[in-house]
Structure 1
Amino acid sequence: MSTNSTKLAAGVAAMIAGALVSTAASAQDKPAMEKCYGVSLAGKNDCKAGAGTSCAGTSKTDYQGNAWKLVKAGTCTKIKTPKGPGSLTPKA
């Protein structure tokens, strides 16, 4: 292999390695998330709004107990609403 080919191969390998490190770093930068029930406004839930609903955006009332939003892990039960704090499990 010529010197130029070796340099080119080393450069390509370095670019690939850099891209892999960058991708891994961005995945680590995202905070862990958890489902938080009873904190979304009507029509603003991420999913699970009861029987007969398809999913996101289908809650009928503010702070509906069986509708959830994704929130940063560890913050759900600290969220205060007029109907009480958020819950990690569906509320009645």
Structure 2
Amino acid sequence: MSNAVKSTVSAAVMASAVAAAVAGVNLGTVSEAHAAKEKCFGVSLAGQNDCAAGPGTTCQGTSTVDYQGNAWKYVEAGTCETMSVGDNKSGSLTALTRDVPA
């Protein structure tokens, strides 16, 4: 194998190793960011939930009522139950029966 070919192969191997290392760092960051969040029910506006909006819905963006009790949104960990949405309503770590469409 000539020196030029060895140099090209070495560069390709090095580039692959760097790419793999960067990808690993990004995966860790995503996991850490997700771990710093919690599902908070009853705080999203209609059509802006992250998932779970009860029977007959699919997922993200399917809530039909503001602050729908069975629809959740990711919020910073530890903040859900302190969120006030007016009229003595707050977020919950579990699904609620309030403001659920008929």
TM-score (normalizing by structure 1): 0.78
**Are residues 74 and 14 of structure 1, via their aligned partners in 2, closer, same or farther at CA, if it must alter by over 3 Å?**
farther
Aligned to 1:90: 95
* Structure 2 runs not aligned, ≥5 long: 98-102
Q: Does 1:49 find its partner at 2:20?
A: no
> AA paired with 1:17?
A
| Cα drift, residue 59 of structure 1 | 1.7
**Are residues 13 and 39 of structure 1, via their aligned partners in 2, closer, same or farther at CA, if it must alter by over 3 Å?**
same
> AA paired with 1:69?
K
Distance 2:29 2:82 in 1: 22
> AA paired with 2:47?
G
Aligned to 1:4: 4
Matching of residues 36-75 of structure 1 within 5 Å = 36-75=40-79
Q: Deviations over 1:14-58 (max 9, x none)?
A: 100111111112222231143221110112112221222233222
Q: Does 1:76 find its partner at 2:76?
A: no
Matching of residues 4-23 of structure 1 within 5 Å = 4-23=4-23
> AA paired with 2:74?
L
**Are residues 80 and 27 of structure 1, via their aligned partners in 2, closer, same or farther at CA, if it must alter by over 3 Å?**
farther
> AA paired with 2:96?
K
